[in-house]
Each structure stands twice: as structure tokens, then as C-alpha cells.
Amino acid sequence: MARLHILSGSILLGLAFAGGAFAQTPPAKRTILQQADVASSPLQQTIFGKVEIAPGSGNPFHTHFGTEMGYVVAGHIRFEIRGEAPRDLGPGDSFLAPRGAVHRSVPVGDEPVTLISTWTVDKDKPLLTPAP
């Protein structure tokens, strides 16, 4: 169901940009934030989604069967990958969690956090797996 919701949101966003008003505005400035090689494989899929984290919450350490690339839209997080120094990130910052990296995002401060993430992961596997 989550995949359908993400896909529906992506389609609606695409339709909004396809409207006539968009054609009359200056071209968008595009900036590549992260880039990674992806093996050509019908066994993988890319999921684009929005992550909202309430103050005082966060997600526990977990892994993915693939790569996550994300962008902080609002709020501040501490992005942690086990074995690496934590990174404090805010609006405009991006992050990368390689395949299998045990990681988490914890809100810093008392404001909600919004992230936009792309996961390139194996099909028929859970999007995330809790880590011990």
C-alpha cells in the first residue's frame, strides 16, 4: 500500500508540473545532490518518497537491501551510520546510506523534520530491516 501511495504522489506531482502555468515560468535550476552507479537489474526498483519525523521520535537503526539517498527539506537531523562519525544535517543537506549500512536519522531540536528520499532496493524485500 505504501508503494502505491508513493507512486500516486509522484504521479500527482508530475501532473502538477505539466500544467500550463509551469510552461510560462523560467526553467528550474537542477542540482545533482548525490549520484551512485546502479546495476541494471530487473530485480531492483527505485522508490521516491517523503519521510516525516516528529520531534522526539526518529527511526531506530536499520538497513536496506539497496542504497538510500536523501535530502533534508525541513528541520534538523543527526544522521548516523554505525562505524562513522555522526553528521548533523539541516535544510539543503543531503545524505547517502550505502547498501546494507546500519543507520538512523534522529531529529535534533523541537521542530518536525521532512526528508525526501530515494531508495534503489531489491524487489520483494522489505523497504527496511531493523538492525540489532
pLDDT value for 123: 86
Q: What is the 3-state secondary structure (H, E, C) of 42-73?
A: CCEEEEEEEEEECCCCCCCCEECCEEEEEEEE
Taking only the tens place, the pLDDT of each residue in 85-98 is 999 999 999 999 99
- Express the helix, strand and coil content of the chain in percent, nearest 5 each: 15, 40, 45
Q: pLDDT averaged over the chain? A: 77
What strands, in cross-sheet order, belong to the sheet with 129-130? 87-89, 77-81, 103-107, 62-63, 129-130
pTM of structure: 0.70
Sorted by where each starts, the structural domains of the chain and their CATH numbers stand as 41-132 (2.60.120.10)
